[in-house]
Amino acid sequence: MSIIRMVDLTKKFGTFTANDAINLSVEKQEIKCIVGENGAGKSTLMNMLYGLLRPTSGKILIQDKEVTINSPVDAIAYGLGMVHQHFKLVPSLTVYENILLGTELKKSSKSPFIDKNREIDEVTKLIQKYKFELNPTDKIEDISVGGRQRVEILKMLYRNVDILILDEPTAVLTPQEVDELFVNLRELRTQGKTIIVITHKLREVMELSDSVTVIKQGKVVGNLLTKNTSEEELAQMMVGRDVVLTVRNTRERDAADEIAYQVENVSTINDYGKEVLHNISFSVKKGEILGVAGVEGNGQSELVKVLTGMMKATQGKVSIYNKEITNEWPDQLRRDGVGIIPEDRYAQGLCGTMSIAENCIAGYHDNPDVCKAGLLKPKKINALRDRFVKDFDIRVGDINGNVGQLSGGNAQKIIVAREFESGSKLLIACQPTRGVDIGSIEFIHNQILNFSNQGNAVLLISSELTEIMSLSSRIIVMYKGGIVGEVSPKEISSSAIGLLMAGIKN
């Protein structure tokens, strides 16, 4: 029996149709994965189901009864719960306080005081029922990312939801935490829950799900039983062509290669005076891709900010080809040959209200090819834009439009084109494929490998472990602001790297 049915569900934003007459069924007690390219309409669909958006037309039926869901409160009342990619927890509160937030248990109906012991007892029973590894009195700020996700799931389960929606649930987890999550989700299924997972990781789709729905350009293009399909078929349906799912670095390192980039004993403090990087040291050789792995929040963002001129190192030294560049401003770093793909493309790499052409030269305005005597050359800039669009397969609706009108993947390609074509000797690439569809991931990976094969150095920082392992020559692993190990991707398993990412050195 279908526990959820969507009938001709449509959502329009002005003249743009995000979801076009979607028909989708989810069976009771199954794990359904929804996949599609970036911008295909997956999140819009789930946001309508959870009451964050209202459909333009169409129907939602729960257990064959048509419902109107105006808010998450309505959704929870109908037995629907959603765990968002970015957790909504209070770090200073405990596990049990977060789970019961808004539904606190009082000592009596007339008492204003919370019954702490009763709350702990209730949450302990909940944890034991669903076999989650959690201590109800631990503070959120002291537990792992995987533990925080389990708290988010329990928040929903406490509210008696029968259907759980998870948005990109493995995005910030170590391999071990992914395995634990899958065990938890399967256990929930055996206890009668129905689970919908939005993801782009096809390997995990094949491992976890009972069925898969593929969405492309706002329409359902496939409903398949997982046992009857493959990663390759799903990728082809999503993109419309065959896709190489894993682009591998086959270049052999030469021990005699020249060191291009050196970081020595770098430390820094954040705005609160806390040291967030501790004595970071590594080097990158010509033609080498050095990967930086780690669970998000362990100093990678701060490291990138220090190396790209957005934070100051409090000690240590950074050099490129023996020229010291410690604490230089971003514009000077670019003159010294450092290309930068930032972690947040819109906050640090692009201006959404500026034209595509203007973004193609952002950071390189003083390049004599596009600027003379302080005056920009519009024809040269437009010619550069047109070349980028052609060579990097940037799909634009209006060539003269703003970057903000592009999909995430095409916006990212503008940064990739700009930084690869700038004559850089070193590329610092931070989360280069975040929020990018599977076809664009293949393209960006090939560009990084081509750049490295031309003798340039690459520092690759990514939370995607498969990306790090397939592209890197060597990998350093960060944990709590320090480097806890250096490994070769050819000589170590993803589970062993996962242990390092969790701070377990042996």
Cβ neighbourhood burial of 304 (10 Å; 0-12, 13-18, 19+):
buried
Distance CA 235, CA 438 (A): 7
Stated as kind and residue range, the H or E segment containing 429 is strand 426-430
pLDDT at 367 > cutoff 80: yes
Token look-up 């050819």 returns 490
Which secondary structure element, helix H or strand E, spans residue 395, and what is its range?
none
Give buried/exposed letters for 67-94 (b at 16+ CB in 10 A, else e).
bebeeeeebbebbbbbbbeebebeeeeb
pLDDT value, residue 80: 93
pLDDT value at residue 435: 65
Cβ neighbours of residue 90 under 8 Å, at least 6 residues apart? 97, 98, 101, 140
Question: Per residue in 30-73, pLDDT tens?
Answer: 999 999 876 678 888 989 999 999 999 999 999 999 999 999 99
219, 18 in Cβ contact below 8 A? no
Instruction: Enumerate the β-bridge partners of residue 47.
Output: none
**What does the pLDDT read at residue 505?**
77
Rounded average pLDDT over 157-183 = 84
Share of the chain above pLDDT 70, in %: 96
Query: Does residue 290 carry a pLDDT above 60?
Result: yes
CA dihedral 114, 117, 119, 121 (to 10 degrees): -170
pLDDT tens column, 85-95: 778 899 899 99
Sheet holding 426-430, edge to edge: 338-341, 426-430, 457-461, 289-293, 474-479, 482-487
Whether 102 has a pLDDT exceeding 70, the answer reads yes
Using CA atoms, how far apart are residues 472 and 491, in angstroms rounded to an integer?
A: 12
**Hey, what's the torsion of the CAs at 475, 478, 479, 484, to 10 degrees?**
60
Average pLDDT value over all residues in the chain: 88
Mean pLDDT throughout 242-267?
A: 79
Contact 48, 55 (CB under 8 A): yes
Amino acid making up residue 261: Y
At 434-485, the pLDDT tens digits run 767 777 788 889 999 999 999 999 999 988 888 899 999 999 999 999 999 9
Count of helices and strands (H, E) across the chain = 16, 22
**Helix, strand, coil share (%) of the chain residues, nearest 5:** 35, 25, 40
How does strand 289-293 pair with strand 457-461? parallel
297 CB neighbour count, 10 Å cutoff: 14
Span 188-224, pLDDT tens digits = 999 999 999 988 788 889 999 999 999 988 899 999 9
Cα–Cα dist 491/476, whole Å = 13
Domains of the chain: 2-239 (3.40.50.300), 259-337+424-501 (3.40.50.300)
**Rounded to an integer, what distance in angstroms lies between the CA atom of residue 6 and that of residue 13?**
19
Mean pLDDT confidence for 367-381: 86
pLDDT over threshold 80, residue 310: yes
HSE, CB side, 13 Å, CA atoms: give it for residue 383: 7
- How far apart (Å, rounded) are the C-alpha atoms in residues 181 and 173? 9
| 8 Å CB contact between 299 and 351 | no
Q: Tell me which of 196-200, 249-253, 379-383, 486-490 is least confident.
A: 249-253
Average pLDDT in the 284-294 region?
Answer: 94
Q: What value does the mean pLDDT take over residues 400-424?
A: 85
